[in-house]
Structure 1
Amino acid sequence: MITVKTPQSEKEWEAYYDLRYRILREPLGKERGSERNEGDDTGTHFGLYENKVLIAVARLDLVDKTTCQARFVAVESNLQGQGYGRKIMTALENEALGLGYQKLILHARDYALPFYQKLGYTLVGPSYKLFDVLQHFEMFRSLA
């Protein structure tokens, strides 16, 4: 059974940040702790669980009255390409819609562009290089 929820217990939060670290920071040679930032206190966190095992994460940040941003989207490496990323993004988008947001932006890693394009996101252009090594690209999708 698949469920999407915000982590609640200390154990769930540890698993949440561990997955973010292993997928998004460890491959770049970054230290533990680099998977967290100040937005963690105010963002809406999503954990996708299959049979109570965390397999994907994402965070929704509010940008302004009409725009929000998807951040820290990650799926266990051995489960990528099996629809879990689509499921967690759908949950994030539905939450954004329910909150009345009209536009969702994100900054995708170069290798994730095809995934987001399949979900209906439009490429704006290069945005920044994470840690001066990994190019990201701004993308958006209208929600309304």
Structure 2
Amino acid sequence: MTVKVVESQQELEDAYKVRKNVFVEEQHVPIEEEIDQFEQDAVHFVMYHEDMPIGAGRFRIIDGIGKVERICVLEESRKLGAGKAIMDSIETYALKNGIQKLKLNAQTHAIPFYEKIGFQVVSDEFMDAGIPHKTMMKNV
């Protein structure tokens, strides 16, 4: 498995393909909410396994804090360490760019995963795209 910072249109399309599969098809998030106005401002990440895109995520810097967004892995590739590999790549990218605090809005079922890699819940539960979330933060 390899995680890449998106550098080409094909890699971006691969990231979108994974996101659409997970969020739009599997979780029924409306496409207009999934692909939003922040796509142009984000650094995108895509994970490949044997040349097939299996994971994705994006990263933005907002007020000096790294905002981790749209982390997803295809269902058949979960539990293989793919999510952690994507998060490790984003953390490395953040540190290289002088960012030492990360923030994300986690779906509540994913909170244990994020806690294992050092994130802490900092908000009450809220709904986003019809799915319960909590905000989490981490110092890197």
CA-atom RMSD, angstroms? 1.6
Contact 1:109–1:136 (8 Å) recurs in 2: yes
Question: Aligned equivalents of 1:136 and 1:46: distance in 2?
Answer: 22
Question: Aligned equivalents of 2:131 and 2:29: distance in 1?
Answer: 12
Contact 2:15–2:44 (8 Å) recurs in 1: no
Change (3 A) 1:126 1:21: farther
Residue type of the alignment partner of 1:137:
K
Question: 1:135 corresponds to which residue?
Answer: 132
Q: Is 1:16 matched up with 2:15? A: yes
Q: Which residue, out of 84, 87, 90, partners 1:86?
A: 84
By how many angstroms is 1:47 displaced?
0.5
Residue type of the alignment partner of 1:39:
F
Question: 2:117 corresponds to which residue?
Answer: 119
By how many angstroms is 1:14 displaced?
2.5
Question: Aligned equivalents of 1:107 and 1:30: distance in 2?
Answer: 15
Residue type of the alignment partner of 2:126:
Y
Contact 2:55–2:82 (8 Å) recurs in 1: yes
| Alignment map for 1:19-30 (pairs within 5 Å) | 19-30=18-29
Question: 1:5 corresponds to which residue?
Answer: 4
Identity percentage of aligned residues: 28
Moved more, 45-54 or 119-128: 119-128
Q: Secondary structure at the match of 1:46?
A: strand
The alignment's TM-score, normalised by the length of structure 2, stands at 0.91
Residue type of the alignment partner of 1:35:
E
Contact 1:25–1:34 (8 Å) recurs in 2: no
- Give 5+ residue unaligned stretches, structure 1: none
Contact 2:6–2:43 (8 Å) recurs in 1: no
Q: Deviations over 1:105-143 (max 9, x none)?
A: 000001000100111101112253113x21110001001
Q: Please identify runs of 4+ aligned residues in structure 1 that moved more than 4 A.
A: none
Q: Is 1:56 matched up with 2:47? A: no
Q: Secondary structure at the match of 1:101?
A: coil
Question: Aligned equivalents of 1:135 and 1:126: distance in 2?
Answer: 10
Residue type of the alignment partner of 1:21:
K
